[in-house]
Structure 1
Amino acid sequence: MDRRTLLLGVAAAGTTALSGCLSAAQSGATGGDSNLRTITVTGTAEMQAPPDRAVVEVSVEATGDTAASVRDQLSTDSERLTQALREAGLSDEQITTGRFSIREERVPPRLPESETPDEPVYFGTHSFTLDIDSVDSTGDVIDAAIDGGADSIDRIEYTLSDGTRDSLREDALQSAVDNARTEADVLAERVDSGIIDVQHVTSAGGGLSPSYARFDEEAMADAASTDLRPDDVTVSATVEVTYRIS
């Protein structure tokens, strides 16, 4: 797919947070030219696109009077859940363990003796991280997880594949550089100067901002299937550029 079709208003999505300063460089750093003048500006830009990858965390839970019984129950429930996810189209590589824990439920120190359990109670959790490469199928995968015995849907993150993210970041960097040059031209003109060349360029920051969805168990209880509508994902870039001016 052409990456340009993934961008939602590239020009409109670019935002700029710019600052500039006029300085005379130290002679030791400029080869002895104490008259060298520079302007340093920062340019930022953001690009947005629909997500093409989803990461969902689901888990099974169990309680029992021994750690071994909880372990065995988690093993049975986990196998049932995993099989349901396989039948929904996920490969084993897309289903990874996120968290596994078994712990004894501690009795609050001031609980009346009459309310203290006769036997210890153990609680266990086995969570799985699901890497879904078809965003449109996220709801179906969640439905399959619930039907397969998942006790909770802990996280739904919409993000980008590596290729899409890299393409958007490249576009954001180009836009950030253009924004920096525009700001430098304005500043140079204000001090009756002009841009001669670039002295230094640094990629100063930026990153990916995924979107998240919350699984509302009560709202979904009456629905025939899970319907999720993710927001766009934002990729940002920041550059710092130093220009030599006349």
Structure 2
Amino acid sequence: MDQRLSGVLAVVALVLLAGCAGLATTGGTDPGDNATTAPDRTIEVAANGEATADPDRATVRVSVRATGPDPEAVREDLASDDEALLAALRDWGLADDQIRTVRYDVREERDPRKRDGNVSYVGVHTYALEIHDVDAVGEVIDVAIGNEADRVDRIQFGLSEERAADVREQALEDAMANADADATVIADSAGLELVGVQSASTAETRTVHAGYATPMRETAGDAATSVEPGDVSIEVRIRVVYGAAEAS
């Protein structure tokens, strides 16, 4: 009696399992039904793109210099000249966050031409001035030189974050257009046709500050310093993988 009952239960269990398996197969979806067919071949290209814009920012480096018989005298002279320079720049309109120190140096200096080894000390304090109006660069230089700055080291024109983002977008569009053109030529030459982009990535971004300049002061009278800014370029390099198939 127990053996017959065990056999019946085993048969019922097998039937139920088979039914469940059938329901799972019937109600499920074959993963391959909706899968996208991969392209037969791929074409990979690297392309460059570039865009330029007029600068809307400038950084001017100016230095205060002092000499003296000992470090303390040099430090005091620098502090006095710094105070006059910073006050003039703030009066002109530069905010504190537009003025930053990029170098401060007090060092010993010997004159090799003197046998007694005469020693003096030289101090330099260099500031980077961030100017948001490129047309005002010459005026800021005049203010600095007229208020204890002894040297203008460099002028670099650049882009604000907002403008840089716009220019980079244009450079990427240019690079993508170049990539499309290159891939089309390759596909046509190989008897293929493009069937979409499989992947794309930026390989490199570079900002070219073509707007370096050295200020030139007119020699006659009190003419203002004249500075001519140059364009700023953003260059990008991208890699794009295209799907390709036999041309129809």
Task: Give percent identity, aligned residues only.
Answer: 39
**How much is the aligned-residue C-alpha RMSD, in angstroms?**
1.9
Q: 1:131 to 1:112 in 2, by over 3 A?
A: closer
| CA distance in 2: counterparts of 1:195 and 1:34, whole angstroms | 13
> 1:1-246 to 2 correspondence within 5 Å?
36-108=40-112, 111=113, 113=115, 116-117=117-118, 120-210=119-209, 211-216=211-216, 219-222=217-220, 224-246=223-245
> What do the CA deviations read for 1:139-194 (whole angstroms, capped 9, x no partner)?
11001001111100001001100110011101111221121011101110111100
State the partner residue of 2:10. Answer: none
Per-residue deviation at 1:40? 1.2
Per-residue deviation at 1:197? 2.3
| CA distance in 2: counterparts of 1:91 and 1:45, whole angstroms | 36
Amino acid at match of 1:126: H
Q: TM-score, normalised by structure 2?
A: 0.79
Q: TM-score, normalised by structure 1?
A: 0.79
Structure exhibiting the larger radius of gyration computed from Cα positions: 2
Unaligned runs of 5+ in 2: 1-36
Contact 2:39–2:195 under 8 Å retained in 1: no
| CA distance in 2: counterparts of 1:93 and 1:200, whole angstroms | 42
Which secondary structure state, in structure 2, belongs to the residue aligned with residue 172 of structure 1?
Answer: helix
Amino acid at match of 1:209: V
Amino acid at match of 1:150: A
Q: 1:92 to 1:174 in 2, by over 3 A?
A: same
Q: 1:101 to 1:92 in 2, by over 3 A?
A: same
| CA distance in 1: counterparts of 2:224 and 2:241, whole angstroms | 55
